[in-house]
Amino acid sequence: AQKVTQAQTEISVVEKEDVTLDCVYETRDTTYYLFWYKQPPSGELVFLIRRNSFDEQNEISGRYSWNFQKSTSSFNFTITASQVVDSAVYFCALSETSYNFNKFYFGSGTKLNVKP
């Protein structure tokens, strides 16, 4: 079974549209961390956010916001007023207590295409 599921393989939007990337995770641990990374065409992994399981407060950082809901095991990522530079593959990841949080499980990624 997948520990992190990103059901949206690819999304295309027009610049200035809002877009939400879905992430659903599965864990038996009560303490865990969730992450989002951006992977531009150049290939590196760019860290966006780290959230622990006890902090369900939603977070906003500029045009980015994250909605963490333990009840549905989801950690969704919204980009407001998307820009062409947001085009990339976005990965959600999970780390768990049972591996001392040091092993990341990544989802399969969502490729976001933002068209001008």
Partner 1 sequence: EPEVTQTPSHQVTQMGQEVILRCVPISNHLYFYWYRQILGQKVEFLVSFYNNEISEKSEIFDDQFSVERPDGSNFTLKIRSTKLEDSAMYFCASSVKQENYGYTFGSGTRLTVV
Interface positions with partner 1 (CB under 8 A): 33, 37, 42-45, 47, 50, 91, 93, 95, 99-109
Q: How many whole angstroms from its chain centre is CA 98?
A: 21
Rounded distance between C-alpha atoms, residue 91 and residue 69, angstroms: 18
For partner 1, which is the closer residue by CB, 13 or 45? 45
For partner 1, which is the closer residue by CB, 37 or 66? 37
Q: How far is the CB of 110 from partner 1 (least distance, A)?
A: 11
